[in-house]
Amino acid sequence: MRLSYTKALNRALADELDADPAVCVFGEDIGAGMAGPTLGLLDRFGADRIVDTPLSEQAFTSMAIGAALAGRRPVLEFQIPSLLFLVFEQLVNQAHKFSLMTGGQASVPLTCLVPGSGSRDGWAGQHSDHPYSLFAHAGMKTVVPATPTDAYGLLRSAVRDEDPVVVFAPAGALAVRETVTWELEPIPLGRARVHRPGTDVTVVAVGHLVHDALAVAEELAPEVSVEVLDPRTLYPFDWEALAASLQRTGRLVVFDDSNRTCGFAAEVLATASEEMRLVAPPRRVTRPDGAVLPFAPALDRAVQPSREQLRQALAAVLKHP
């Protein structure tokens, strides 16, 4: 069967709701399934578990933290990624720290799902952020699936986790479809995936950029052997997988749709430079410093990491013997 990315998220939520009566979903317009992942869930599971909330992210996030502390497993849907800025205090300073500050006596098994994170055509500056680096920096479990099967498996594992998890579903991946068998399994958090093995250079690509990296790798295949590594979970990161990849290739490019300064790519480059085998200076392809995506489509695309920028970065690391 052919499985779309959005349908994979929808199926993961339905399967977890079926499997565990403690699972519930909060969010705006989720009863109508406006964003896709919650489509049909209200009719199937009822208004006691699929809670269409008022227009206040701070209110329903606080409510969900309380529900999690009381034994429920809430999933929060945020239709726009920048809405996470409104609830950063509740998630990072409250939900994330409860377990640490109580010596493990309390836990907050809360999942935040952000369908359509990053740029969507014409959504402009206040709707096009991709703030996964902020949550990885804070030490929250942070997931960015690239494929439908990974979206399904990682979301199920996120809902089952005892800690809060933020799942970013990139807008650039929502149209991806995959041929799958009916049986799909949860995928453990913290394990990377090698989509394409190679021997000359490693590309660590995040989210939808995995597909661009694979296209460039195929294009360059006659001359260059590119390994494409998808971390899937940004925190905790699978450093062992990256070390093994760099042991094979010795060269590194990170392809990352977050802003350059203090972004995710910077952490990967720093750790690889400190601890792993490199035979050439690593490179990163990111959004520019302090990027705010414009409304105009041509300007929007110009700010995003591109295949051409990846080609240039690969050429730069490969010129070193």
Q: Indicate whether 185 belongs to any domain.
A: no
Residues 147 and 211 in one domain: no
Single pTM value for the model: 0.95
Residue 245 CB-half CA count within 13 A: 28
pLDDT at position 302 is: 80
The span from the CA of 165 to the CA of 309, in Å, is 31
Mean pLDDT of 59-66: 96
Instruction: Verify that 202 and 228 share a domain, yes or no.
Output: yes
Residues 170 and 217 in one domain: no
* Count of the separate structural domains present in the chain: 2
Cα–Cα dist 133/60, whole Å: 23
- Asked if 203 contacts 229 with a C-beta cutoff of 8 angstroms, the reply is yes
Residues 143 and 261 in one domain: no
pLDDT at 190: 97
Residues 213 and 86 placed together within one structural domain of the fold: no
Average pLDDT, the chain: 93
Q: Which residues contact 2 (CB under 8 A, 6 or more apart)?
A: 177, 178, 179, 180
pLDDT for position 290: 76
Specify if 184 maps to a domain: no
Asked if 95 and 58 touch (Cβ cutoff 8 Å), the reply is no
> Would you call the peptide bond into 236 cis, given omega within 30 degrees of 0 as the criterion?
yes
Residues 213 and 113 in one domain: no
**Distance in Å from the first CA to the final CA of the chain:** 46
| DSSP secondary structure letter of residue 213 | H
Residue 186 in any domain: the answer is no
Dihedral of alpha carbons 283, 311, 178, 29, sign:
positive
pLDDT at 122: 66
CATH number at residue 93: 3.40.50.970
Q: What is the pLDDT of residues 98-150, one digit of tens each?
A: 999 999 999 999 999 999 887 777 677 677 688 999 999 999 999 999 999 99
The answer to whether 139 and 96 are in contact (CB under 8 A) is yes
Residues with catalytic roles: 127
Band (303; pLDDT cuts 50, 70, 90): confident
Q: What is the mean pLDDT of residues 84-109?
A: 94
Whether residues 31 and 142 share a domain: the answer is yes
**Residues 229, 257: one domain?**
yes
Q: 247 and 157: one domain? A: no
Same domain, 172 and 214: no
**Domain extent for 297:** 193-318
The rounded distance, in Å, linking the Cα atoms of 222 and 125 is 39
User: Is residue 54 in some structural domain?
Assistant: yes
The CATH number of residue 248's host domain is 3.40.50.920
Whether residue 33 has pLDDT greater than 90: no
Residues 45 and 149 in one domain: yes
What mean pLDDT do residues 188-204 have? 98
Residues 14 and 138 in one domain: yes
